[in-house]
Amino acid sequence: MDTETSATGDTGDSGAVDDLGLTVRTGAVRRVVSLVPSLTEAVAVTAPGLLVAATDWCTHPAGLDLLRIGGTKNPDTARIIGLAPDLVLANEEENRLTDLEALRTAGVPVWVTRIRTLDEALHSLDRMLTVACGLPRPTWLDQAEDAWCAVPPTTRAGVRAVVPIWRRPWMVLGRDTFAGDLLRRLGVDQLYADHPDRYPALPIDQLLHDAPDLVILPDEPYRFTADDGPEAFPGVRTALVSGRHLTWYGPSLTEAAGLLSSQLRKVK
């Protein structure tokens, strides 16, 4: 079996290359299943009629009324195959290879995104919507680019920030992450930006020993709140921020720069 057919499970005449360099062969795209909340929102805002199903975690836009096919890590692949989608949207970090291969083996075209920086997000979303889905470039994508281009270069010299994303066990942002790139653009000097792991699991004793000057606590994927998180870092300044605006790539990027900047200024 040739490489392209093996990667896609489809042998149609029209093909484009996804972020992993795999050729995805589709015809006209009229039925889309999304396995990623960010990508669900991107398609729903751009062309809501395309979506036929999404994961249980796809919560935006508000009031999204779609068939649900499980979580990002445990989608019901049999049900997805039964829906006969023209395209399934996925992400190399959020979705499991075994699930994507099951879909490809059944002949379902799968488009996989790979996003580690803001620039990659903007480029990947443009290609996914225009090339994979055959849609016009949406206005919100231009607005997102403009909003982030308007962010002035800033630095917080000497301020070392730690960014937990989970508790029990504690996990923090490390190297090469989309959220880390957004924070860097907002002037945050991330304590573990050069850690070998992208999401290192570190005991709270080590986090405290490394003496961060600032703790940034998003409300997802773990829901940190004023009463759950700051108490673990006594004497360290804390900023509570929107996890969706820090970790989602899609229409939320149009307001993320302004909102995150405002939340980072409200350090306690």
Is residue 151 one of the residues assigned to a domain?
no
> Is 129:109 a contact under the CB 8 Å cutoff?
no
Is residue 144 one of the residues assigned to a domain?
no
Residues 93 and 131 placed together within one structural domain of the fold:
yes
Structural domain for 99, as ranges: 3-137
Residues 9 and 120 placed together within one structural domain of the fold:
yes
Give tens-digit pLDDT for 151-188. Answer: 887 656 567 899 999 999 999 999 999 999 999 999 99
Residues 175 and 81 placed together within one structural domain of the fold:
no
Residues 116 and 202 placed together within one structural domain of the fold:
no
Residues 82 and 47 placed together within one structural domain of the fold:
yes
13, two tokens: 């005449």
At a CB cut-off of 8 Å and minimum separation 6, what does 95 contact? 35, 36, 72, 73, 75, 112
Helices and strands: H and E segment counts in the chain: 10, 13
Of 137, 172, 193, the position where a domain reaches its end is: 137
Is residue 184 one of the residues assigned to a domain?
yes
- 192 vs 182: CA distance, rounded Å: 15
Give tens-digit pLDDT for 41-99. Answer: 999 999 989 999 999 999 999 889 999 999 999 999 999 999 999 999 999 999 999 99
Give tens-digit pLDDT for 191-235. Answer: 999 999 999 999 999 999 999 999 999 999 999 999 999 999 999
